[in-house]
Structure 1
Amino acid sequence: MAIAFKVGIIGGTGLDDPKFFNRHKEKKVSTPYGEPSDVLEVGTIAGVDCVLLSRHGRSHSIQPTNINFRANIWALKEEGCTHILASTACGSLRQEIEPGHFVFIDQAIDRTTKRVQTFYDGVVGHPPGICHLPLANPFNEKLRDALKESAARLGIPHHTGGTVITIEGPRFSTRAESLMYRSWGGDVINMTTFPEVVLANEAGLLYASVALATDYDCWRSEGEHVSVELVLETLRKNSENCKRLILDVIPRLATIDWSHDIKCAKYTCNSSVMLPFIKE
């Protein structure tokens, strides 16, 4: 029996417009974890079922710490998504990652402090047990490969791997922090990959992220430092390339056999849950 295939698209800043969908409709949903950031935008791309969700809300009214990541991922899972393509604006920690470049991140460091990172929180009505999720490789390699191939086909400047550092925000880093993150091996820095990537894996979804470099953060002694104006200016250019990337990759994803990958992802999350012991 063929496994259902549906792509969830989590649009970060600059990628939350459903105009590239066919048969588009809005769907308001709720979850055991509350309401997601916005309505789900349901439609198709080249005949492939897709669901778009704006991470910060379409009016960009939700700051990073207050995003209901659990409701967002749960809503996409309940809608039948098997894959998630996420976009995220980020600052570059490397000279060679220029503003406007894409990075298909393969590793991540979590520096957030205020966010719930699991569905298994012991609350009545939520999944029972404790999930000790293995996360050595947070991003799905096969999905990343497809994204890299599309970027190469389209001539989009990109980097095939990199480590993202996620900070709490909403403030940007100090220069000392930025230099420290570089010394740790960080390549880009953002505010939203955690706990999103954790929850997607915990839900058994195949997840990949496109990091859109908008600035050089503040580690360089020369040049312009990160600012809202600089980020928005570069985002306008990045978002068009990101839309081109999504439109190219999704039809090709539909030609790939994902059965084994989906089964493995579900097995990993299910086998990671430790249920309470029952006393005799």
Structure 2
Amino acid sequence: MALSVAEGFETFLNRLVPLASQRQAAAKHRASIETSLRNALDVILFRETGSFTHGTGVRNHCDSDLLVSLRNTRPGSSDTAINWIKDALQKSFPYTSIKVSRPAIIAAFNNGTETWEIIPGFITAGGGDKYSVYDIPGAASGWIQSAPVAHLNYVNTINAKKTAPGGAKKLARLMKAWKHYNNVPMSSFYLEMRAAKHMSTQDVFSPIWDVCWLLEALVSSSLANMNDPANVSGRFYACSSESKKAEALSKAKTGATRARKALEAYQKGDNGLAFYYLDLLFGGKFPARS
């Protein structure tokens, strides 16, 4: 029997969830990373962040993120803090690829199949508790604010809405899948927060509608900077440069057009055409109808 659009999305979302084995493989390096950095730097605490922790990761496109809260006085240049982390890791793991991809330093273990992204941070408010705000390196230069626990709490709160349980994280996962399968140079964190903010205004979650509405909203705003919906840190940026923003906006326009055509076909009862455009939207990864 041919899948309905709702069944297609359910199957797709199940396929997007990272495997437990992938999470376990990545996690085994955390202790050695922490030991390396504690030996080289004055560390207050480590906090795991990112899509694995948030439950919004996409299978095979999901790194483990580790925020390193440093006691040192924050240097004027974020490059200095990045190099502190990079140098410590290179000394401890001379045969592992260690490279900078702002705001993180990427440690690619086991030929890149078990990857950690490590970000230096300096507490600016909150004193180390769950509401702490950190200065972390900006995507291109300088410093930006981050409040990982407050932002996770925000996503969890929206995700727990009784009328749309699980909707915020499912929409975030779908948007990240769109990003990865179409090579869109856009921040996954930005997409996650946009998805949660969108779902905060919705009474139900319907992926065929919400993906379309969110893509169209991104295009309408021209990927505008986003105010922090948790009201604890600075604004969020969609892309790390104007050239990447132009590319991302172009791909968002294409995605919004395909999502709208899929929705229109769905409304007309033409599921075959809806599946066709959904497959285009998600880079050929959407489930076949039958």
Compute the TM-score of the two structures, normalised by the length of structure 2.
0.25
Larger relative contact order (Cα-Cα within 8 Å, sequence gap ≥ 6): 1
Compute the TM-score of the two structures, normalised by the length of structure 1.
0.26
Q: Give 1 or 2: higher helix fraction.
A: 2
Q: Give 1 or 2: higher strand fraction.
A: 1
